[in-house]
Amino acid sequence: MITGLRSKLKQFIKMVPKVVFVLGGPGAGKGTQCQNIVRDFGFVHLSAGDLLREERANPNSQYGELIENYIREGKIVPVDITCSLLERAMEESGKERFLIDGFPRNQDNLEGWNRRVASKVQLLMVLFFDCPIEICTERCLNRGAAGSGRSDDNLESLKKRFNTYQVETKPIIDYYQKMNLVRRLDASLSPDEVFNQVKNVLNESNLQ
Ligand code: C5P
Ligand code: MG
């Protein structure tokens, strides 16, 4: 009886999805490092920005135009749209460990997440890719010049994106910092050097 209960409990614990949030300014290398983490640590990578761009490209979506306007202006899309996309992607993956990249990006994102999802998952940590604005700008402009095809990898959109990051996203990082969940990485270094830091952080944490 106790054994049965214990295995049921184990099953239950296993089923609670684990989440790592990935935050940092535009061009801080979140996407690049997430790919590395997926390869070596077996997480599912869900980029809020990518999911929004996918939704924008769907001709049947009623939100395409709204999303494009927000992205071009570097503003944060209302959370119900983003959270629905994230929840659907989590469900469809059938997996249990998620890197949620570029979310929560402002107070609205945070409140929506706390209202809709937080109690159903375990938040393991927030990886904070900290990078000076000059380096981030250069990376994004290079990415644009190399043909990223992104409508927001231009100087005008970038200024707005950085402003949004400073004014809206930084306080969210501070909020998680107070909960002791933030792991800061020096994201100004080369991709390999940043990944070494990431590996140290993840290896030190109990990810089971
Ligand atoms: O993370 P990424 O740079 O791909 O995000 C691109 C844009 O997508 C953001 O500048 C913002 O307009 C939108 N976005 C959003 N809400 C999020 C993540 C991204 O509105 N949580
Ligand atoms: Mg990205």
Which atom of ligand 1 is closest in space to residue 30's alpha carbon? Answer: 1
The structure tokens listed for 85 are 């996309």
Q: Is the pTM of this model over 0.85?
A: yes
Site to substitute for ligand 1 among 51, 52, 131, most atoms within 8 A of C-beta: 52
Phi, psi (rounded to 5 degrees) for 126: -120, 115
Find the DSSP H helices in the chain.
2-15, 30-41, 48-57, 64-72, 79-93, 107-116, 133-145, 155-164, 170-178, 191-204
CA 122 to chain centre: 15
What domain range includes position 113?
16-203
Residues 6 or more apart whose CB falls under 8 angstroms from that of 156 comprise none
Q: What is the pLDDT of residues 162-192, one digit of tens each?
A: 999 999 999 999 999 999 999 999 999 999 9
CA of 24 to the centre of ligand 2 (A): 10
Residue nearest to atom 10 of ligand 1 (CA): 74
Q: Which residues in the chain land under pLDDT 50?
A: none
| CATH for 152 | 3.40.50.300
Task: Give the residues surrounding ligand 1 with Cβ less than 6 Å away.
Answer: 26, 48-49, 52, 70-71, 74-77, 82, 102-103, 105, 109, 152, 161
Residue nearest to atom 5 of ligand 1 (CA): 49
Confidence at residue 12, expressed as pLDDT on a 0 to 100 scale: 64
Q: Establish if 11 belongs to a structural domain.
A: no
Site to substitute for ligand 1 among 56, 63, 70, most atoms within 8 A of C-beta: 70
The structure tokens listed for 197 are 């830091």
Q: Establish if 8 belongs to a structural domain.
A: no
Site to substitute for ligand 1 among 46, 71, 131, 168, most atoms within 8 A of C-beta: 71
Confidence at residue 98, expressed as pLDDT on a 0 to 100 scale: 98
CA distance 165 to 74: 9
| Cβ atoms of 99 and 45 closer than 8 Å | yes
Residue nearest to atom 3 of ligand 1 (CA): 26
Q: Establish if 72 belongs to a structural domain.
A: yes
Q: Establish if 5 belongs to a structural domain.
A: no
The count of domains in the chain is 1
Confidence at residue 19, expressed as pLDDT on a 0 to 100 scale: 98
Residue nearest to atom 8 of ligand 1 (CA): 49
Q: Establish if 59 belongs to a structural domain.
A: yes
Confidence at residue 191, expressed as pLDDT on a 0 to 100 scale: 97
CA distance 143 to 80: 29
